[in-house]
Structure 1
Amino acid sequence: MDKLEVFGVVAVFFTLSWLGMRMSKFIYHISMPETMGRVYGPYPRVITALLSVCYSTVVVAMQIHIMAQGVSICIESVNPLCITMLTTLLLVVYTIFGGIRAVVLTDVWQCIIFSSLICVLAWFVFKQTGASLGETIAFAAAQKKFGLGHLLLYDKKLVATLRYLATMVNCIEPVFMQNVYMASSISQVKKVFLYAGIVGLAIMVCCTLVGLFIFSWVPSHLSGIAIWHYIIAHTPPLLKGIICTCLLAMTMSTADSRLHICSVMISYDILPNLFPVRFRKNLSSAYHYRMAHMAILFIMILTIPLALSSSYFVVDKVVLWCSRLYVPVVVAPFILAVFGFRSPPRTALIGMLAGTLAVFAWRKWIFSLLGTNDGVFPCMLVNGLVMLAVHYLLPKPKYTKESNDCPLKQIQ
């Protein structure tokens, strides 16, 4: 398990709560791209929606790929290709005909089942160690890799700081921010992220214990996927079935939410802004509904070849590049908008271009020096600073009484 995950859960929900408490004027919007469009205009709105759809598409593909590989290890007689195709078909049917209400209700049960599995798995692995809890902790404390210095990366303070900051800003994406738009009030937003942080921290503590017990149980010469094969070989058939069921539930609980949000962004934020204004006003709710269903099918068609690709292509190439571009391009304008910054569309577009160039510059020059790709926060900071510089240095357009960018409207 990554050393930042336990601390990252607290940082993620603290960041979302801090940002959500300041979104009272945007809470009745439908999506995060709509907020960008209301502040900066249609072009930043479309850019935000496109990057969000691309990022969510490859994340769904990665989830299906990992789930298929995990189930194929538990049940060796099943072909991963069949699992991938069946999971994709199940996701399409469930997402289209289930609706957001069904998704919310089933996600609650899936969370309960998944949390119960973590506790059962921790108990099972603990029994396999054949040692007491005190002996296991003492054994781990004697290992150098579990030392405090290794945990906090004292030898690479700058890299550790960049990783912590990247963890905090990576959560500012439509999938997480949609919880703010779905809330009925700001006070509910605060409660949602508070409860989610407590439950998430408890789950991560249990996952950490599972990793600790596995480290004490599994032979030291095993590594990587061989550890997973060793665990499955010593797992009862009933527990294997529970693991497969929970892997499917865990994939569906997040993939269907991403599919719903992507369908909304395509039918509500991207396609209508490609039409003339007069035609856009005549679009009915039935049109958005049909386009949302077609968008789900389109996304899943793109997902299948990605899910069938190798893990290196899916994870290291597509997912990482989409995440590197999304945060530097979108997050800085969004945070500035939440805190009341108002500027013409050209300011946001110039800042987005600066963030994109910063990503490629980091990859070409900084990566060779630090050896880390966690440069999303500095690149995002470049975007924000360029936007502020353009806003205050370039001449501003003349304001009218109807303009939302006039000083009186900003004060209100």
Structure 2
Amino acid sequence: MYMSTDHYQATSVFFGAGIFSIFIKVMIVAMPLLVYVGAPDLPTSEVWSYVIASMPPLLQGGLAIAFLALSMSTADAQLNSCAVMVSHDMVHCLTGKRGVPYERQLRLTKITTVAVGICATLLSFYSNDLLALLKLHFDFYIPIITAPFVLAILGFRGAAQTALVGMATGLVTIIVWKLWVEPQTGINGSFLCMVANGLAMAAVHSWLKKKKL
């Protein structure tokens, strides 16, 4: 979608992704149904072991290779995106310099990749529950990234400081919510923190416009 030349091509991308996602979701729904038919009394903790044991050895190897390729391709893509954003976008935004030498950008990219990779490795030891880690990922992704992304798609154009203030607001509010509000209420605050992000961006954008006037 990022590489689309116009909204028509982006629409085609969304349509194709939607067709594939329907097929994938049908497979996801069909697998537990088939497991239930084959072993209705199977404990939840033994489902994955049962699925693997029911496969022929060749398919087991292919599945292991597919999971490894899937995890590594996602990991290196995210690391690369993060390193580029830090070494290029954020450096230009914070320093205001457009001519940062590529050697420094490359050095900062390498440092960022190593640092984020180490943090991700340590985070993987935080919990053995993949679903819990996925929920933790969404708890921080939605409040920080979603609001600037949606506003950019809708045509909102503001200063870089506006986006940074909104993202910082989302980060602070989700941390406060996770530490003090969610334990008392049991309510996930990702959506509300995303709204706080958007409101902070709107407020800063309005303040900067008045300041220029």
Q: TM-score, normalised by structure 2?
A: 0.75
In our comparison, the structure showing a higher alpha carbon Rg is 1
> What is the number of residues matched between the two proteins?
212
2 CA distance for matches of 1:361 and 1:307? 23
1 CA distance for matches of 2:169 and 2:110? 35
Change (3 A) 1:282 1:231: closer
Identity of aligned residues (%): 34
How far the C-alpha of 1:357 sits from its partner, in A, is 4.9
Q: Partner of 1:365 in structure 2?
A: 181
CA contact (8 A) 1:263 1:292 kept: yes
Correspondence list, 1:129-208, <5 A: 179-180=1-2, 182-208=3-29
How far the C-alpha of 1:201 sits from its partner, in A, is 1.1
Q: Partner of 2:44 in structure 1?
A: 223
Correspondence list, 1:227-266, <5 A: 227-266=47-86
Please give the per-residue CA displacement for 1:122-153, whole angstroms capped at 9, x wherever unaligned.
xxxxxxxxxxxxxxxxxxxxxxxxxxxxxxxx
Q: Partner of 1:383 in structure 2?
A: 197
Q: Does 1:299 align with 2:113?
A: no
Change (3 A) 1:248 1:329: closer
Change (3 A) 1:337 1:234: closer
2 CA distance for matches of 1:388 and 1:205? 40
Correspondence list, 1:341-360, <5 A: 341-342=156-157, 348=163, 351-352=166-167, 354-360=169-175
Could you tell me which runs of 5 or more consecutive residues in structure 1 were left unpaired when the two chains were aligned: 1-178, 400-412
Q: Partner of 1:283 in structure 2?
A: 101
Q: Does 1:339 align with 2:148?
A: no
How far the C-alpha of 1:189 sits from its partner, in A, is 1.8
- Counterpart AA for 1:384: G
How far the C-alpha of 1:194 sits from its partner, in A, is 1.2
CA contact (8 A) 1:266 1:295 kept: yes
2 CA distance for matches of 1:386 and 1:294? 31
Change (3 A) 1:263 1:383: closer
CA contact (8 A) 1:350 1:387 kept: yes
Structure with the greater relative contact order (CA < 8 A, sep ≥ 6): 1 or 2?
Answer: 1
Change (3 A) 1:392 1:268: closer
Please give the per-residue CA displacement for 1:94-136, whole angstroms capped at 9, x wherever unaligned.
xxxxxxxxxxxxxxxxxxxxxxxxxxxxxxxxxxxxxxxxxxx
Change (3 A) 1:232 1:315: closer
How far the C-alpha of 1:217 sits from its partner, in A, is 0.9
CA contact (8 A) 1:263 1:296 kept: yes
1 CA distance for matches of 2:118 and 2:17? 32
Match of 1:325 among 140, 144, 155: 140
Q: TM-score, normalised by structure 1?
A: 0.43
How far the C-alpha of 1:268 sits from its partner, in A, is 1.1
CA contact (8 A) 2:148 2:198 kept: yes
- Counterpart AA for 2:61: G
Could you tell me which runs of 5 or more consecutive residues in structure 2 were left unpaired when the two chains were aligned: none
- Counterpart AA for 1:190: T
- Counterpart AA for 2:71: T
2 CA distance for matches of 1:343 and 1:183? 22
Greater CA drift, 229-238 or 390-399: 390-399
CA contact (8 A) 1:351 1:386 kept: yes
Greater CA drift, 380-389 or 349-358: 349-358
- Counterpart AA for 1:380: M
CA contact (8 A) 1:218 1:227 kept: no
How far the C-alpha of 1:305 sits from its partner, in A, is 3.6
- Counterpart AA for 2:181: W
